[in-house]
Structure 1
């Protein structure tokens, strides 16, 4: 991903933004076209006369009108002390945010061209009266406000208020001019995580998607009051989110944002492309639309284009957003396809803000993805634009991903491996990246989601039936695919403390709902291991991970945390994943349940509808059919869903008993999120796992995941397609003779043998031999100045090498050395012949 520094980002700003950085006084004279800003925003939200006559937009217009009428009915039926019937205000910040949302939805219908309420001044006055009522009774009193979640007061409510004020700007100017300025002053006062009522780039709350939200609101507020200084500073503040995060030269201490390898982080250490990254994408594209023709210059569209190609596209499989980058949103009922629908709207809009080749590539991608539900689009104009792209026969469909792709998102401890027919997604954690995210009663049982959990997506499936909220509902949190977990029972945060967080404001760490200590030890704790990373070589990848406790457990043992704070000890394991063409090879060593506990490694867990024709077959090492409940080690197993025509094979490269079988599970979706509907989900759950007994000799485990495998193919595979060269806590390495690949993760310091390679660890290495020999290596710890490998064998000469790679002859072979200082896990490659 091309690096964009803060200086480069600022160089692309509109002139008004640059002036704000230099001098707020000079910015006041920059003269942004405020009327155009407001008109652009109304058009974006409500559509135009042209867009709203398109038949594809009719359903959106009907939904806008229907919602507005529902809200008006609720106003008509409101009782004493209510603005909307059934919405109790005064102690629930979410209810107050909802009241402002309802007013916005009514106002929107009155500005939607072609709608029955378009221009209805009577309805608009009802909205204005509602704004006045809410301010007088529930929003204006600073002493009574700001309870609950800070996000509602600084982002949620101001978003609805700012947009409503824009929609009703003409009426307010003529009939209630003081209301806008009154609201702006109040919203500034509620910006308590800012500075003097404005954004503070040093605040841990004003980063990434949150910063984009706040600044987008402030651009609108400045346009409403013709305040050039506010507009200019908001544009300049938002521009900082376009800068690529350099972890070795942080600005304002911010780690939230996009990284050079395409990773996106929010909440300082959470892999979050699929949720907050999506929000950031949406907001900045909306800002580009708002500013169009109202300020000079931009050029930031090409930066966002790279977010799409390098950050989002690898994570979208057949229109589904992968689980590994959703944070706590994995527990929500509307992720996956809905996430991508929102992204598609941004992509369609972005095509108007980038160059010709980039615009065409985006349009091709829009046609490549499955048809989106345009009902989730914000803008009628976007629906019209999207529909025009989809119906244009001159635009061929084309993926932004090549058919085969392996991506190491090492900056966020994630990996994605794609092939025709499947995609494999892996989630790890480290001292840099959180093990999971829990917050506000969402993702109640997240404990092992960053401990090597993986997701194997098969082509042609409705992923809602295989993953999404139902996967986490039906599958035990201790049996997520790929996870090694101790045998124990844990309790959720609400079960432990009777609320959504741990509270102890009297402790020196000051545990409150949004305190830094809450983030560090409860909401998204990091691991304690440095080794989590990997290497890519062309379309192949290797990743390694040393499983550790999280920081909360260690801090509890050290006496840093209060006595009543509960922290759980993790199991130990050293793991590698070698991602090839037809298989992903998994090595597991050094497993220990710790504290007298056994541990279980889950080879796979998959769900299916109860009526699906699911079968599990297998073969023993000594021959003969493997049966469910068989204690004899299987040579291979195969899970097949005949109804969906999909299958996964499991070829075991080591001999140990495997517990595998099918179970019908019924649970409520509330087991993973307290605010989910109390809907019972029944799934047929397949699990294959290996138990590691407590205190005994723990054998190494090696197996291959084979997507789409047939029984005949598995019989052939088990006869030696892959050879394990090493599998212990120091070195894990494999050889694939058909591909000419030797790959290794070396976890210990110093030189270690892996086949014909001598690797100076810690390091990850892939060597592919053929007409040429390609060597790729990286530092998964992100701590080393250099890594190296010696290839034993015939003399070779350099064909090409990345910058920072040196190659020279040494006794017995060739030394390839890469300077990895400040490379943040990047892969380095040399080609020899």
Structure 2
């Protein structure tokens, strides 16, 4: 009896035979052509079109891709339990969940490496283009991983994400690029494996791990499975399963009407999961456009609107602000990333820009024009990390951005104004020359997210962390190894107990949330009053914190600072990353202070301070603050167990209020002036009439700036501050301009209870108001009754002054 043919012989024979099309409709060739068209469309989307492979930056990227593929090919060694020696994926009943997660992650990385090798085969200019031996190696690797790990009879272990999203996306991309060389048997095996791990039930309900960005990723898997297997039902399911992503939500995962994006129920995530969702939708919309499965749900307009409502507000000079990137801020360079590409705010921003450029293909002409103007402006201003040579972008993404750069759009400038995002306890303030962002926490939004061993020490990043960047300076503040080197107990803007915390303190996946509701603020779109009732993470710390965002400054107040942990409590004015070798002059009340590392001082009665190249700081009435210059060394692996552990050192200038051990109702006040010169800072400190602190107590905090017509009050409890009275907890912002004024009110408790606000200022008429605002009286004083609702929205009236 002749020996049975080997699996390799069967597959090689199948590769030359007509592909079995049992999943396709019975009516014939034109249906098959539709799948082939989609497959070729996807090939163009992931490889790119319209670029010259011998021109830069493509030539260098393609050469690097080829070099990486050669290295991977040389080290690939199929054996039981691994395809590469450094990536064992066997799961012989691991002792811990962490081991199981490692195994599943290694399996996912093995598929990623095969995809990279396949890209080197398929792309021009790699030195391996069309290399039949490389193709054979990839097929060998695919067969090995199928037989041993990713097949229809295998039970998953470790992290669900790898089995349902990471691995099948890599596998199906490879199948698209090598389709003509797979053969019917491989296609059947691969589609069966995907069906096993990603059944239709994965998108049957919009819950759990099948929401937001995850849902979009799952739909990408289902769509490509439909393309490869020529299955109309899978494509229809993928398209239809996108629909639950589109509507606005009022809590939890997804896009909120105020522009917030949440993932993992409690985590602001526009810069990471939101970016994945945007990128995934841009790809799927482009793939299915013009086909029988085109996404026509009218809800897709919410996604198109999100470009300007949810993403653009968090991009500044091309970087994506860290306060909406969750645990992704801790990633640095990952151990298994053979490309050595790090993650940071700059590179996350580049990915969002590429997603916006692609989504433009599915937008209206007007939307596309606006977006291309924004993207072109970001490209022009990103001096710290040039977009068109970004190491984080592939050839296809760069080609699309280059097309925008070469297009007719005029670069749009950075906008000016203030945006509040009550759905995720965030605020963004933009002025000519600088921008700032504020991160807070409540019973709705976590202090910070850790998980999978990532972002282990960002404990206080929701405790009022105040980020800021200059238009032409300090854009690398958080990009330049900030997170592994900064003192995690002294994040800028925060108030925190020095109580020692453990890695991952408070629980994973956003579990760490304070039991507080009063977080929010009021804005007229230009200025703002924002407040946070703070309860410290795993401490007895209490504090009331307010920020008043103005023209060239942010006024910062703290009150009710109280703790009984037997440790010190600090409020951090600043903690600037000065780079690896930065020596920036630091001046206090006109006197230069030491530039030596290790210098520290207690600045008694300080009225102002200035850090050259960064900002000025004013202390109304004088204050005692501490200052420290130091070099701090850390490694990304200190805060992320999956990151490379090479130590890095950065220099810092830290400025803080020391409230002492177990403070009782302590306070602070300071004015941040980004980009100010020493002369401007000194002049502001000398102008005692510029700012009046109306209140800074545990009950209310408020300021008035007459030259701006600005009054802002955060009423932690109802009461009267200056000329303003509120009947209940509220944030009130008033801005006078000539003979008109705008009155903005927010109910941060979100309990729906009515709030009456009286402003003792002659008002002749209310000229406009929102539907939630009722006019009680005008004349010698204005009284409004506001029905604030439960979403933290701002309610506005415009009045004629008497």
**TM superposition score normalised by structure 2:** 0.86
String of CA shifts for 1:91-129, please: whole Å, max 9, x gaps: 422221111112222223333356654455554343233
Question: Cα distance 1:171–1:587, how it changes in 2: closer, same or farther (>3 A)?
Answer: same
In the alignment, the residues of structure 1 paired with residue 201 and residue 724 of structure 2 have an alpha-carbon distance, to the nearest angstrom, of 60
Deviation at 1:378, TM superposition (A): 5.9
Q: What residue in structure 1 maps to residue 347 of structure 2?
A: 338
Give the ranges of 4+ consecutive aligned residues of structure 1 lying more than 6 Å apart after TM superposition. 624-627
Do the aligned partners of 1:188 and 1:197 also contact (CA within 8 Å) in 2? no
Range moving further from structure 2, 416-425 or 592-601 = 592-601
The size of the alignment, in residue pairs, is 737
Question: Cα distance 1:114–1:803, how it changes in 2: closer, same or farther (>3 A)?
Answer: same
In the alignment, the residues of structure 1 paired with residue 770 and residue 52 of structure 2 have an alpha-carbon distance, to the nearest angstrom, of 50
Query: 1:158-237 counterparts in 2 under 5 A?
Result: 158-172=168-182, 175=183, 177-191=184-198, 197-237=201-241
CA RMSD of aligned residues (A): 2.8
| Matching of residue 470 in structure 1 with residue 438 in structure 2 | no
Question: Cα distance 1:828–1:337, how it changes in 2: closer, same or farther (>3 A)?
Answer: same
Deviation at 1:397, TM superposition (A): 0.9
Q: What residue in structure 1 maps to residue 440 of structure 2?
A: 428
Query: 1:304-343 counterparts in 2 under 5 A?
Result: 304-333=303-332, 334-343=343-352
For the residue of structure 1 that corresponds to 2:604, the secondary structure is coil
In the alignment, the residues of structure 2 paired with residue 186 and residue 147 of structure 1 have an alpha-carbon distance, to the nearest angstrom, of 15
Deviation at 1:526, TM superposition (A): 1.8
Do the aligned partners of 1:471 and 1:607 also contact (CA within 8 Å) in 2? yes
Deviation at 1:31, TM superposition (A): 6.6
Question: Cα distance 1:364–1:132, how it changes in 2: closer, same or farther (>3 A)?
Answer: same
Q: What residue in structure 1 maps to residue 60 of structure 2?
A: 59
Q: What residue in structure 2 maps to residue 87 of structure 1?
A: 87
Of 572, 593, 604, the residue aligned with 1:632 is 604
Do the aligned partners of 2:278 and 2:356 also contact (CA within 8 Å) in 1? no
Q: What residue in structure 2 maps to residue 354 of structure 1?
A: 363
Question: Cα distance 1:80–1:672, how it changes in 2: closer, same or farther (>3 A)?
Answer: closer
Do the aligned partners of 1:519 and 1:525 also contact (CA within 8 Å) in 2? yes
Q: What residue in structure 2 maps to residue 747 of structure 1?
A: 716
In the alignment, the residues of structure 2 paired with residue 139 and residue 96 of structure 1 have an alpha-carbon distance, to the nearest angstrom, of 9
For the residue of structure 1 that corresponds to 2:679, the secondary structure is helix
Question: Cα distance 1:467–1:695, how it changes in 2: closer, same or farther (>3 A)?
Answer: closer
String of CA shifts for 1:272-310, please: whole Å, max 9, x gaps: 111111111111101112112223463677533322212
Question: Cα distance 1:141–1:800, how it changes in 2: closer, same or farther (>3 A)?
Answer: closer
Deviation at 1:63, TM superposition (A): 3.5
Deviation at 1:233, TM superposition (A): 1.2
In the alignment, the residues of structure 2 paired with residue 64 and residue 140 of structure 1 have an alpha-carbon distance, to the nearest angstrom, of 28
Of 381, 385, 388, the residue aligned with 2:403 is 388
| Matching of residue 132 in structure 1 with residue 143 in structure 2 | yes
Q: What residue in structure 1 maps to residue 546 of structure 2?
A: 576
| Matching of residue 241 in structure 1 with residue 245 in structure 2 | yes
In the alignment, the residues of structure 1 paired with residue 592 and residue 351 of structure 2 have an alpha-carbon distance, to the nearest angstrom, of 48
Deviation at 1:351, TM superposition (A): 2.2
Deviation at 1:185, TM superposition (A): 2.7
For the residue of structure 2 that corresponds to 1:650, the secondary structure is strand
Question: Cα distance 1:345–1:654, how it changes in 2: closer, same or farther (>3 A)?
Answer: same
In the alignment, the residues of structure 2 paired with residue 797 and residue 811 of structure 1 have an alpha-carbon distance, to the nearest angstrom, of 8
Deviation at 1:680, TM superposition (A): 2.3
For the residue of structure 1 that corresponds to 2:83, the secondary structure is coil
Q: What residue in structure 2 maps to residue 47 of structure 1?
A: 48
| Matching of residue 535 in structure 1 with residue 522 in structure 2 | yes
Do the aligned partners of 1:786 and 1:819 also contact (CA within 8 Å) in 2? yes
In the alignment, the residues of structure 1 paired with residue 290 and residue 239 of structure 2 have an alpha-carbon distance, to the nearest angstrom, of 14
| Matching of residue 258 in structure 1 with residue 255 in structure 2 | yes
String of CA shifts for 1:692-729, please: whole Å, max 9, x gaps: 23455544211111112233323332223111101111
Do the aligned partners of 1:34 and 1:294 also contact (CA within 8 Å) in 2? no
Q: What residue in structure 2 maps to residue 555 of structure 1?
A: none
Deviation at 1:89, TM superposition (A): 3.1
Indicate the structure whose relative CO is greater, using CA pairs within 8 Å and at least 6 residues apart: 1
Deviation at 1:52, TM superposition (A): 5.4
Question: Cα distance 1:88–1:765, how it changes in 2: closer, same or farther (>3 A)?
Answer: same
Question: Cα distance 1:807–1:458, how it changes in 2: closer, same or farther (>3 A)?
Answer: same
Deviation at 1:547, TM superposition (A): 0.7
Deviation at 1:331, TM superposition (A): 1.4
Q: What residue in structure 2 maps to residue 441 of structure 1?
A: 453
Q: What residue in structure 2 maps to residue 605 of structure 1?
A: 575
String of CA shifts for 1:655-696, please: whole Å, max 9, x gaps: 442111312222333322223322222222111111223455
Which sections of structure 2, spanning at least 5 residues, go unmatched? 1-24, 92-102, 333-342, 595-599
Which sections of structure 1, spanning at least 5 residues, go unmatched? 1-24, 248-254, 497-501, 503-517, 551-567, 641-645
For the residue of structure 1 that corresponds to 2:727, the secondary structure is strand
